[in-house]
Amino acid sequence: MMNHNHNDSIQRLKTVEGHIRGIQRMLENDQYCIDIIRQIQAVQAALNKVSANILDGHLNTCLMNAVQGEDPEERSRVLKEITDVFETANRT
């Protein structure tokens, strides 16, 4: 992996970590189900943003390097990784 600046993603994950603990407390305190679901949805949205940020970095560095490079096997490998990620995401 290239040396990406992941500071934004790390900060978002720390926020998600806090939200997860909050959801656990909500469950322990038998809070209203819809409120819990809303918090879970907020966590999912935050994780999707982290994923999008990392993908953007990957596309603009690793993928670009492979596409512009001389190694056709590396190009194929990196493109297949992208396809595999989207296929996995669509299975869930």
**pLDDT tens-digit profile of 58-68?**
999 988 898 89
Taking the CA atoms of residue 1, residue 92, residue 83 and residue 54 in that order, the dihedral angle to the nearest 10 degrees is -30
Cβ 12 vs Cβ 46: under 8 Å: yes
Nearest-angstrom CA–CA distance, 63 and 74? 9
Which domains does the chain carry?
7-91 (1.20.58.1000)
The one-character DSSP state at 29 is T
**Per-residue model confidence (pLDDT) at position 3:** 55
Type of residue found at 18 = G
Amino acid in position 6: H
In tens, the pLDDT along 16-73 reads 999 999 999 999 999 999 999 999 999 999 999 999 999 999 999 988 898 899 999 9
Which pLDDT score is estimated for 89? 82
